[in-house]
Structures are given as structure tokens and as C-alpha cells.
Structure 1
Amino acid sequence: MTAPTQSAERGPAFLEGVRVLDVTGALAGPYCTTILSDLGADVLKIEPVTGDRLRARRMGPQHRSIPFDLTHRDKGSLAVDMKSPAGAGIVRSLARRSDVLVENFRAGAMARLGLGYEDLRPECPDLVYCSISGFGQFGPMWDAKGIDLIAQAYSGLMSVTGTTDGQLAKAGFPVSDVGTGMWGAIGVLAALLRARAGGGGAYVDVALADSVAAWSLWEVADYVATGVEPAPLGTAHRLAAPYEAFTCKDGATLVLGAVDRAWEALCAVLELDLRGDPRFATEYERFLHRAPLAEIIQARFATDSRDHWMDVLRAAGVPCGPVNGIGDILTDEQFAVRGLFVHDKERFAEPTIVNTPIVADGAPRARGRAPEVGSSTGAVLAELGYDEERIAALVEEGVVAVSDAEKAATGAVSPRTGAAAVAVRGAEAQK
């Protein structure tokens, strides 16, 4: 049987024509709008005249802001001082022409600028407005600072992440940030459906702490059923055994899952005769005695290589897979075929881009590189009706900033921004 492949035929982008104002920084908000961009939306990033703070986080021998480039690909850039009345007025005018606005300032910050949902709603009745914050827009923690690590701790995730001897650990990926970005995108998409059906705009409120706490399905089920506080289990599963990572002869590890239907096959592959041991007679007994069972299985895995065990386990129908490193996944054939990691420096200005994992007709996914500061400023303001003289004055006053390409075109110079580089998409996609 031949494995299916992604069709070369692609329909219109899912979000073609949807205009998004990206008033975000750090990771959760930008990841939300990157998902929308990869689904075909036209995204305009609003950033300070000095540039997004993440641009300053330079990495590697080329001294590029790789975190910024990966989370802001294929967006335009309007550099504007939203704290100034003129800057806030520009953003307000853009909101009237947009379908979605995403922001992730601290709760209440946008309202203090006159750019909150209730401020814009009378002028933008169909606008989908998404606020991303640490703890949401209401509740006793609404004004507390919330970052990824705090959310992992507050949500209970850190209490169940770590080793069986009680050594706690954070998740290896910033799951609070990326997870909240995903929930934000889901909320925006649902609200857009209603808006397009004539139901009006919506306010979408998503929080880092909520996002991670909502993933506690297994742990909540365990606690409600037993009354025992769930503890870290290393790589073991909360409700089944054997179901964890084991160390093989070559030092690599193997993730193994086995319930009733796979149990006999697993024992046959490992040449273990445990049928007469009452501790392992049923799935529930194996779960209760998972620690001694893991010791027995670990002793067998240590006798051969990871590749050997994966081959024989897969042949026997036992679910298994390698524990890969980051370098492994970047060169993995499965991910390569799926287009999850794109290695195209000429197109993206970075050697590797992490794609949005939605493979579907109508999902264009990553298309272009991240913008330079102010790459769309002049074109966007011109679309709003500002003439060249007024744009040059706003640049001189520090209300907006333009990229080098637009400086060359308009003669505008900003004493506050320094040099930018090339323009990427411009504002054509925003029209």
C-alpha cells in the first residue's frame, strides 16, 4: 500500500482577504497571528518606532534576531508610537479597516490608550478583538504579570512534570505561550465565522494560566477518582502501564505504549514470561505495579540497540518510537515529507522555519520572511490618506518610523530609529 501524499492542488487560502492587526510582542500573541497568517490572512504588525523588543535578542554568528524572524514571518510592519495621540489615531483608523485585532499587553493597557475593545466597538461593530494575557481580563489575578513559567507553575503543570523522586521541572517547550497562541487563533476563527454570518464582532479573552490548566484532563480525572494529589511520573503515563521511555544499549531511549491487546506481543518480543505473575495479570494490576514492571522491562531494553527494539516492536504491532533531539527532528524524513520544517534561507532569510502543522487544501502555510522595522509604514499611511509631507512630518516627530527602502522613496529620516534594512511584503497585502 502506497502512503498518501499531500496534493499539489491547492484551493484559495482559508483566510484570504481577512485583515489582522497584530499588536503583540513576546511569543503567545505573535504565534497566534502567525497561525492566522499561515492560513492566508494579511497580517500587519504594529510595533514601536524603535522596533519590537524581541528584535534585540540577537543569536548566532550572523547576529540575527532569529526568535523574531520565526514568529513574525510573512507580516507587514507599521512602526508607530501608540502612546501618542497621533499614533493611537493611526491604529484606530486601521482597526476600522480590519477584521481582527490581536493584542497581548497587560490587562487594561489598551483601554488606557483608548484602543480597548469597548473603545473601538462603536466604530468597528464587526471587529474580532482578541486579548491574550497571563490570567485573563477578570478575576482576582487579572492584573498580575503572567509569563510562560509562572503559568506553568500556577496551572499545576509543574507539579506533575519532573522525576519520580520529586525533582520538579518545567516543560521543555514554552507550552503556555504557544498553547495560548493556539487557543487565541481558535477563538478568532470561531468569532470570524459568526461575524461573517452577520452576528457582529466579538471579544476573545484567552489566558496563559487557563490554557495550560485546561490540558489537565488526565490529572484531574486521577485526582477526582482517588483523592490523591498527582505527582511527577518522569516519562510514565498517568493511567496506563507499561507506557514510558526505556534506555537501550546504545544510550538512546524508546517510548513504549502497551495496553491489554499489545501486552502479549510485548512480552513475546522481550522474551518475558510474566503470564503467571498476578501483579501483571490485568491492565489495572500492571498500572498499580508499574514501578517493578518498569524495572523488569528496562533490563531487557538495555541488552540491545534502540533501532533493534523499534524494528521488532513495530513488526509485532507494539506502539513505539524514538525520543528525538531537536537536531533529529530537523532532519527527520517524516517531518520533511509533511513540510513541518522549511529549510529555505533565500526565501525566509533564516536556515529553518517551523511551519504551522495544518496540512490542508486552502492552508498556504509559511510564505515569506519577517519584516524590517517600518517596512509597511509609508504605504499603510498613504492608504489611509496621509500625503508624503505629512508622513515625513510624523517620521520627524517620532510618531512613526520607516524602513530604509521607504526612506529612500520618501526622503524621510527618523532620528529615533537608526538604520533598518529591506522591506519585505509592504502593505500591498493589507489593501
Structure 2
Amino acid sequence: MTTATTAANGSPFLEGVRVLDITGALAGPYCTTILSDLGAEVVKIEPLTGDRMRARRLGPDSKPLPFDLIHRDKGSLAVDMKSAEGREIVRELATRTEVLVENFRAGAMSRLGLGYDDLRVDCPDLVYCSISGFGQLGPMRDAKGIDLIAQAYSGLMSVTGSTDGQLAKAGFPVSDVGAGMWGAIGVLAALLRARAGKGGAYIDVALADSVAAWSLWEVADFVATGVEPAPLGTAHRLAAPYEAFTCSDGNTLVLGAVDRAWAALCRVLDIDLSDDMRFATEYERFVHRAPLAEILQQRFATADREQWMAALRDAGVPCGPVNSIGDIVTDQQFLARNLFVHDEERHGEKTIVNTPIVSDGAPRARGAAPELGRDTAAILTQLGYDEQRVAALVAAGVVGMPSTHAASDAEATTEAPTPATAR
């Protein structure tokens, strides 16, 4: 595998780090995708019929885009982990791996004899990351946890939505991607310890924890006031004006005019509120944010969004457009930072969403997702299996290679444990 993620000396950050990816759905794969984009070599373990996401199709071209985009530039080893020989292959591969990431239900890997305690005897420096709905500890450890449940359980859904009490989930699967990010952070920290000769580590990440850990403002509000925070639409919990406004052309902008920008905002909008004691201080503006929003909305409705944003930015008032997904994939700022990469070889006009870490201006995402079992033969050869042994394993249904997968993606079912974080 090749990488374009480089440090100042031209080397990938995680060059030489091998990651065993035994994941499905989104949280676990996103964790290993981050590591891959940082330069690690990631080998994905798949059941003989393929990861379930291979069968999920989006768009008229009927390609498995969710799988292709989240498993880009990974290797693929197709193996039946329910078989003793299949488990032995995974165990052998783990002895040559620095990191293992899995996101099945608590205890599933241990029941296969592939848990952290099972492997660390032979792999004392192994960094083993488990991602699940509620983690490996606590009364909820055995409960199924998916993104929607995690958003609700973590308290996020109680404060997301409109001011009339209509709840909403976040538009992005934030618990999945958040857990993947926390997993990657934990893995990177544990790798530093392992490479310092202090042994491996077990990293336990939960979707519910990942979102609840972001509740900084809301917990502070609750602790200070004793009042349960409620949905505020686009408004901020501790500052005003800090929300969205609709302009004359129907487009929406967001505004964050804290104390130092308040006077400039009034000048741009040509309104004089200096004698209105409801808005005399930042705290008073926050307390009276509803009537303040009404006054500001009336002014924003008199001109189009581009006019307002140009004037506000010139005055140093923080503001920005409310973009659609179609807007962001062509936005010049994101394009300049290489956040969205066109993979014409595999997807035509489709786009890869990059890992948002810029290093020396180099792109991070590289090749496409692998064909099922593409690397099976090469990996087994590296483990010392000769051609006859590999052929025997294929014939016995222990491993698979591209030529052995006759079933279509649409007919695929999994032979591995169901990911705990399946959406």
C-alpha cells in the first residue's frame, strides 16, 4: 500500500504500523480509516460472503458506496472465523500486528478465543481496541447500541431540535464517527507507550460515552442552574446573539456576535440598541435572546445573504452560510484543504471524504476499497502457508479469494459476529 500522508521528513506518520481491522458498520471502520489515512497498513478481516456493507447500495449506479468510502485503501482477508483453522489464521496474523480494532458486542471476540486476554500472551505489545454501544463495563454492557440509541442515551437528543420541544437526532451519525475518533486517539496514545517498551493496552470505547463526553456546555448549564437544558434550535446555550437568521433571498446565515463584536453588529445592521437595558451586557443579551432574535431577524430579512455576510465579515463579526451537502463538496475552502477527494478511477464523479488533518498540504486518502479477499493469498504466504495449504483452505471454505466468491454482493450475509454498532 502507498500513502501520501507525510510528516516533515516525507515519511508517513504511521509508516510500518500494521492494523488488523475486524469491524463492521461505521464506528470501527472509521477508526481504522483514520489510522490508514495517517499511513498505517490496514488489513480488513471479512467473512467469506463479505462485510454486510458491501451489499448496501446508494444511488443509480448501484455501487456499494458506503463500503467503498469507509474501507478505502485497506487490504482484505476473507476468512471464516467460526472455524478453528480460520481463528488460528487470525491469531497468527495478530502476532505480526501492532493494533487490532474490533466493534462487536461485548464478549463476542473472547468467545471466539480472540479477545485481548487470549492474544496478549503471545502479543504483549498489542494495542487492542474494542468499540461497542455501551462499552465493556457497566449494567448496559450487553445492550445493543446503535447511533440513534447512543444519541438518545447520551442526552444529545434531549437538547437537539426546535424550541417548541420537537426533538431531532443529529443529521450526521455523530456517535459512530465520534467513537471511531476516540478509538483512534486511544490507539495512538497506546502505541506511544507500547513503542516505549511499556507493553500493549486494551482500549474500551463506547458510542454512548463518546457523545456524552461532548456535553460540556450542557452539563455546566445544568450544574449551575439546576434546570434541565432543553432544545434551542440553532441558538447557543450560554451566549447571544448566536444562531441562524433567514435573509431576503431565503438563504440562511449563522451569526456569533459575542461581546467584542456586538457594537460592530449593530453598526452593520444600522440599529441602535444602546438605550435598551435588555441588551446592555452579554449576559443580558443571553437572558433576553428571544426578543433580540426577533429584532435581528427583521433586519436580516431586508437584504440577501451575500450582502450581509460581506458586510459582517468586513466588520469582523463572525458569520457564515448554512450550507447543504451539495454545497460543501464543491466549496472552495474545503477543496483548498483537500477535504473532499474525487476518486475517478473507482467512483467517477463520486467523492471521498478525507481525514481532516492537513500535513504539509499532502492528501491523505489514497486508493479504493479492496475486492473481497483480494489479499488473502498474499497474507497467508507472508504467514508461511504454501500454495497447497492455501488451496486446501480455500477448498475447505476456511478462506476465500476473489475467484471463490460466486455470490453477488446483494446476496451476501455475514458469518462473523454482528457488529455491536451496526446502524
TM range (shorter): over 0.9
For residue 230 of structure 1, what is the aligned residue in structure 2? 229
How does 1:188-267 map onto structure 2 within 5 Å?
188-267=187-266
1-structure distance, mates of 2:157, 2:344: 37
2-structure distance, mates of 1:260, 1:59: 46
Q: What is the CA-CA distance between 1:60 and the residue it aligns to?
A: 1.7
SS in 1 for 2:350: coil
Identical residues among aligned pairs (%): 78
Structure with larger RCO (C-alpha < 8 A, sep 6+):
2
Q: What is the CA-CA distance between 1:374 and the residue it aligns to?
A: 0.1
- Could you tell me whether the CA contact under 8 Å between 1:11 and 1:361 is conserved in 2? no
- Could you tell me whether the CA contact under 8 Å between 1:148 and 1:174 is conserved in 2? yes
- Could you tell me whether the CA contact under 8 Å between 1:242 and 1:286 is conserved in 2? yes
For residue 429 of structure 1, what is the aligned residue in structure 2? none
2-structure distance, mates of 1:362, 1:126: 33
SS in 2 for 1:215: coil
Amino acid at match of 1:373: L
For residue 107 of structure 2, what is the aligned residue in structure 1? 108
For structure 2, list consecutive stretches of 5 or more residues without a partner in the other structure.
Answer: 412-423
For structure 1, list consecutive stretches of 5 or more residues without a partner in the other structure.
Answer: 1-5, 405-412, 421-431
2-structure distance, mates of 1:40, 1:12: 9
Q: 1:305 to 1:362 in 2, by over 3 A?
A: closer
For residue 326 of structure 1, what is the aligned residue in structure 2? 325
2-structure distance, mates of 1:356, 1:129: 22
How does 1:371-410 map onto structure 2 within 5 Å?
371-404=370-403
- Could you tell me whether the CA contact under 8 Å between 1:14 and 1:363 is conserved in 2? no
Amino acid at match of 1:224: V
Amino acid at match of 1:103: E
Amino acid at match of 1:34: T
Moved more, 345-354 or 210-219: 345-354
Q: What is the CA-CA distance between 1:357 and the residue it aligns to?
A: 0.1
For residue 91 of structure 1, what is the aligned residue in structure 2? 90
1-structure distance, mates of 2:348, 2:379: 24
- Could you tell me whether the CA contact under 8 Å between 1:127 and 1:202 is conserved in 2? yes
SS in 1 for 2:245: strand
Q: 1:366 to 1:12 in 2, by over 3 A?
A: same
Q: What is the CA-CA distance between 1:344 and the residue it aligns to?
A: 2.8
Q: CA RMSD in A?
A: 1.9
2-structure distance, mates of 1:225, 1:323: 31
1-structure distance, mates of 2:378, 2:169: 44
- Could you tell me whether the CA contact under 8 Å between 2:49 and 2:405 is conserved in 1? no
Q: Which runs of 4+ in 1 moved over 3 A?
A: 6-10, 347-350, 361-364, 413-420
- Could you tell me whether the CA contact under 8 Å between 2:54 and 2:409 is conserved in 1? no
1-structure distance, mates of 2:190, 2:361: 19
Whether 1:30 and 2:29 are equivalent positions in the alignment is yes
How does 1:149-160 map onto structure 2 within 5 Å?
149-160=148-159
Q: 1:419 to 1:170 in 2, by over 3 A?
A: closer
1-structure distance, mates of 2:207, 2:145: 7
- Give TM-score, length-normalised by structure 2: 0.93
SS in 2 for 1:198: coil
Q: What is the CA-CA distance between 1:202 and the residue it aligns to?
A: 0.3
SS in 1 for 2:77: strand
Q: 1:414 to 1:162 in 2, by over 3 A?
A: closer
For residue 423 of structure 1, what is the aligned residue in structure 2? none
Q: What is the CA-CA distance between 1:61 and the residue it aligns to?
A: 2.1
Moved more, 388-397 or 10-19: 388-397
SS in 1 for 2:197: helix
SS in 2 for 1:13: coil
How does 1:11-410 map onto structure 2 within 5 Å?
11-346=10-345, 351-361=350-360, 365-404=364-403
1-structure distance, mates of 2:157, 2:60: 34
SS in 1 for 2:271: coil
For residue 409 of structure 1, what is the aligned residue in structure 2? none
Q: 1:277 to 1:202 in 2, by over 3 A?
A: same
